[in-house]
A and B are shown apart, each in its own frame.
Chain A
Amino acid sequence: MDGGTTAGDAGPPLRLDGFPRAILHFDGDAFFAAVEQAADPALRGRPVVTGKERGIIACASYEAKARGVRRGIALGEARRLCPDLVVLPSDYETYSLFSQRMFDIARRFTPDVEAYSIDEGFAELTGLRRLYRASYAEIARRFQAAAEAELGLTVSIGLSLSKGLAKLASDFRKPRGFTAVAGRHLHRFLARCALSDVWGFGPNTVALLQRHGLRTALDFVRRPEAWAGRLLGKPGREIWRELRGDAVHAVQSGAPPLQASLSKGKTFAAPSADRDFVYAKLLRNVESAFIKLRRHGLRARTVTVALRRQDFGQASLGARLTRATAATHEAVPAVRALFDALYAAGVPYRATMVLLEELESDPMTQPELFDDPVRIEKMAEASRLIDRVNRRYGKHRLGLGTGLFLPMRRPAARDAAPRRKTDRLPGETERRRVGIPLLRLPV
């Protein structure tokens, strides 16, 4: 196909400035596997994968990737490819602790940090040069070095004028990559990026653009904005502008904006027909959902409960509360009634779910004439208190009493309990955790 540009022939620059805006994207390299290697030096340099509990590779270390082991393939296949593979169960508790620390390190540099997922995030650096007496690239390098030194794992860095460009840049070189793209170099960078690398372009969009003779991200932004808009609509127009270095999307340092509903569901380690256990699991999901609801400053009006049986059949039932609420206690009577209507004795269940809908964010609330305002305020206060305690001591440390029906968990199937669960720190129990990772450091 011709008409496309190549790296050597990028044509005139798209813009002439340096960093009118500086947005950093950081991405933990093979994060889950890297955390395992960071926590246990004996694993460093060895092919490590996680996902043992599911039988599918969740994450492969670079050593494993070099042997052809990829995310998503079956464990048996991975072992065939790499007989000396170290297979570990997923240890989300530890990954989450490392993730929090990675974001905490970023927040030392700037308050505007967006936790995009457990292993990647954005940071707004614009305007920080004077504060640190350093260039944006130098600030980014300091962050990269701090993360590596303090966490014992590597991150890849992309630094550019928009989130879309920063993400493209951090993917450009991996692992331990560092790619800073100033405005005046955009054209040369984009000429080396395939369409499929662009954040937001799926296989269908890429195929469509290729039919129009485009090969690289530069080919795309060389077309007029209106053309992109006509072909791909508003999202296409936004990607076009982001790739040209006009930041359309801000770094969202608060909690991400929420949609019209919120749900929480968990599959049990093993199916259970124990009424108290199933109900306790359900209420735990309700607690989690309301914690999330409050974190986003929302209230819910409708609660729907679903119970999934071992045979994968599912029954669900919803109820509308008299008013939208963020207080867990206010929803519990409705949840109890729904559960009683759904639960069938003697049937083994495998999962419970809760869905909150009709979410409201209006800071003005409409109190009820017939309500007891003191009782409602007490329930709201209880939720505020639970959040405060748990922020300090960990999620669900303080919760509804039904949580006591959640028994000490048996080791999961496939002998796949992560070490963090089996080797406890002094004073820890199955449920009471100390919020630090367990490291295997030679002393």
Chain B
Amino acid sequence: MKLKVSKDAINAGLQKVLSVVVARSTIPVLSNILFRAEDGKLWLTATDLDITVRVAVEAEVARDGGTTIPARTVAGVLRESPGPEVEIECGEDAVAEIRSGSAVFKLRGIVEDDFPPMPSFEEGPSYAVEASALRAMLQRTGYAASVDETREVLNGVVLAFRDGKLTAVATDGRRLALVEQEFEFSKEHEGEIILPSKTVAELIRILGDEGTVRIARAGSQVMFRTEGMALTSKLIDGTFPNYRQVIPAAAEMRIAIERELLLNAVRRVALLTSERSNSVKLAFGRNRLEISAASPDIGEASETLPVKHAGGEIAVSFNPDFIVEPLRNLVTDQVYIELSDEMNPGVIKTDDPFLYVIMPMRMS
């Protein structure tokens, strides 16, 4: 392998694969990044055996070939390279020589053959989605996934291709985020996949604003492919609960409120919640919303916001994180809160196809 590459380009490529690398693994090669030169490109690949990310970097390739290099070391070397360009050369011995300006590094790696191969994909159902749209869907749902390892099926985002729509859903059992879009695909390709949260986070990081991403499924694996990038991931095996059943059909009242106003107020009031008393109360009255919290051992807080609300009074308690997280991940100026009573789930909506169901807290 022998090639020349711009420092900025290779560092940008490296950033996309670094977070997949396993810092301390019992399999040493997983702490390495695979450098492969072919087709006039340098391909960088990292894997933790669940997720594999492969990105292309434009390069002048003099000789095809490949090797693996310890990720942390090579990331440091490339970041600190003195020149605008970097030359990488490697023979059979898996020792990569990196030159930049007058600096020379020799990095001992592990031969390419030890690196786990990218899963091969038989053509299964595949879909083409706008990269920016997919990223937005994942961003608006991913935070709602469960982090409780004992509920594996909830540890990710469902992508459902059904009824001419693509639906992304995540829930931890207490709140649920859903984004839905019209989407064209052939009827026999209906189905759904559960992406693990780590995969979702990688996709949000890697997917750009332009181009299409092809999603292909093969058994328990999925591949996301764009120009110059491929991510394969294991899927979560299992049946996602029927999320349609928990979406309230109708609500007693619907209140429009400025997103940032609500977000900041809830964040402030939530400062006075504690592990032992983790709830904020939203009390709606005529044209006003009072947000309050009290912890016996800390103190109490309240803040009143003006809202357009002519209807009756209602007070509902929520885990503040469950309100802050969707608001932080949305971009619209205005959100709508729909409530029926203090026991039944509340809903946050926007003018986009976004829906968020949140279970109130209750006195036991």
- The judgment on whether A and B are partners is yes
Q: CB within 8 Å of B: which residues of A?
A: 299, 319-320, 322, 360-371
* Additional 8 contacts, C-beta under 8 A, given A368-B174, A369-B176: A320-B148, A363-B363, A364-B279, A364-B317, A366-B174, A369-B175, A369-B345, A371-B173
Contact A369 B357, CB 8 Å, known A320-B150, A363-B363, A364-B362: yes
Pairs across A and B, CB under 8 Å, 27 listed = A322-B148, A322-B150, A360-B276, A362-B278, A362-B279, A363-B364, A364-B279, A364-B361, A365-B361, A365-B362, A365-B363, A365-B364, A366-B174, A366-B319, A366-B359, A367-B174, A367-B360, A367-B362, A368-B173, A369-B171, A369-B175, A369-B246, A369-B345, A369-B357, A370-B173, A370-B241, A371-B173
Q: Which of A362, A363, A365 has most B Cβ within 10 Å?
A: A362
9 smallest beta-carbon distances between A and B, as pairs: A364-B361, A365-B364, A369-B246, A364-B279, A368-B173, A320-B150, A369-B359, A370-B241, A366-B361
Interface residues of B in 37-52 (CB under 8 A from A): none
B319 touches A322 (CB 8 A): no
Residues of A contacting B241 with CB < 8 Å? 370
In the bound complex, do residue A369 and residue B277 qualify as a contact, i.e. CB atoms below 8 Å apart? no
Is B279 a contact of A322 with CB atoms below 8 Å? no
Complex CA gap A320/B150 in Å reads 7
Distance to closest chain B CB from A383 (angstroms): 12
A370 / chain B contacts, CB cutoff of 8 Å: 173, 241, 246
Whether B361 contacts A322 by the Cβ 8 Å rule is no
B278 closest partner in A (C-beta):
A362
Does residue B24 face the partner (Cβ distance < 8 Å to A)? no
- Separation in Å of the A1 CB from the closest CB of chain B? 45
A365 to B319, CA, bound (A): 10
Instruction: Note all chain A residues with C-beta closer than 8 A to B319.
Output: 366
Do residues B362 and A319 form an inter-chain contact, with CB atoms below 8 A?
no
Inter-chain CA distance A367–B316, complex, in Å, is 13
Report B162-213 residues with CB < 8 Å from chain A CB: 171, 173-176
Given contacts A320-B148, A369-B345, contact A364 B359 (CB under 8 A): no
Q: Which of B142-163 contact A (CB under 8 A)?
A: 148, 150-151
Q: When chains A and B are docked, how far (Å) is the Cα of A57 from the Cα of B364?
A: 46
Nearest opposing residue in chain A for B358, CB measure: A369
Residues of A close to B148: CB separation below 8 A: 320, 322
| Residues of B327-364 contacting chain A, CB below 8 A | 345, 357, 359-364
Of B150, B174, B176, B279, which one neighbours A319 at CB under 8 angstroms? B150
A11 to B247, CA, bound (A): 78
Q: How far apart sit A366 and B364, CA to CA, in the bound complex (Å)?
A: 9
- Which residues of B sit under 8 angstroms from A361, Cβ to Cβ? 276
Contacts of B277 in A (CB 8 A): 362-364
Question: By the criterion CB–CB under 8 Å, are A369 and B150 in contact?
Answer: no
Evaluate contact between B276 and A367: CB separation under 8 angstroms.
no
Report whether A364 and B151 are in contact in the complex, using a CB–CB cutoff of 8 Å.
Answer: no
Known: A320-B148, A322-B173. A367 touches B359 (CB 8 A): yes
Contacting pair B362 A369 (CB below 8 A): no
- State whether B364 touches A369 (Cβ < 8 A): no
Residues of A within 8 A of B345 (CB): 369
Complex Cα–Cα for A368 and B278 (A)? 16
Q: Knowing A320-B148, A369-B357, say if A362 contacts B276 (CB, 8 Å).
A: yes
Cα–Cα distance between A71 and B228 once the two chains are bound (Å) = 80
Q: State A428–B89 Cα separation when bound (angstroms).
A: 89
The answer to whether B175 touches A364 (Cβ under 8 A) is no
A319 to B174, CA, bound (A): 20
Candidate in A299, A360, A369, A371 with the most chain B CB atoms within 10 angstroms: A369
Give, as a whole number of angstroms, the nearest-CB distance from B104 to chain A: 53
> Once the chains are docked, how many angstroms separate the CA of A426 from the CA of B28?
74
CA distance A299 to B176 in the complex (A): 24
Min distance, Cβ A317 to any Cβ of chain B, angstroms: 13
In chain B, residues 308-327, which have Cβ atoms closer than 8 Å to a Cβ of chain A?
Answer: 317, 319
A368 to B279, CA, bound (A): 15
Chain A residue numbers with a CB within 8 Å of B362 are 364-367
Residues of A within 8 A of B278 (CB): 362, 364
Provide the bound-state CA to CA distance between A364 and B148, in Å: 20
Residues of the B chain whose Cβ atoms lie less than 8 Å from the Cβ of A364: 277-279, 317, 361-364
Shortest CB distance B278–A (Å): 7
Q: In the complex, which residues of chain B have a beta carbon less than 8 angstroms from the beta carbon of A368?
A: 173-174, 359
Q: Complex Cα distance A240/B313, Å?
A: 54
In whole angstroms, what is the CA distance A369 to B319 when docked? Answer: 14
Q: Which residues of A contact B363 (CB under 8 A)?
A: 363-365
- Candidate in B174, B241, B277, B363 with the most chain A CB atoms within 10 angstroms: B174
CB distance from B151 to the nearest CB of A (A): 7
Report A-chain residues with C-beta under 8 Å of the C-beta of B364.
Answer: 299, 363-365
A137 CA to B173 CA in the complex, in Å?
60
B324 to chain A, nearest CB (A): 15
- Residues on B with C-beta less than 8 A from A363 are 277, 363-364
Measured between C-beta atoms, what is the minimum distance from A375 to chain B in Å?
Answer: 15
User: Closest Cβ of chain A: how far from B291's Cβ, in Å?
Assistant: 15
Query: Chain A's nearest CB lies how many Å from the CB of B251?
Result: 15
Bound state CA distance, A396 and B357, in angstroms?
Answer: 42
Residue of chain A at shortest CB distance from B245: A370
Closest to A321 in B: B150
Contact partners of A362 in chain B: CB under 8 A: 276-279
A320 and B317 alpha carbons, distance in the complex (Å): 25
Chain B positions within 8 Å of A299 at CB level: 364
Look across to chain A and name the residue whose beta carbon is closest to the beta carbon of B275: A362
B151 partner residues in chain A, CB cutoff 8 A: 322
Complex Cα distance, B280 from A364, in Å, reads 10
Chain B contacts for A369, CB-based, 8 A: 171, 173-176, 246, 345, 357, 359
Residues in B neighbouring A366, C-beta threshold 8 A? 174, 319, 359, 361-362
| Interchain nearest-CB distance for A333 vs B (Å) | 13
Given the complex of chains A and B, what is the CA–CA distance between A34 and B324 in angstroms?
Answer: 63
Nearest residue (CB) in A for B363 is A363
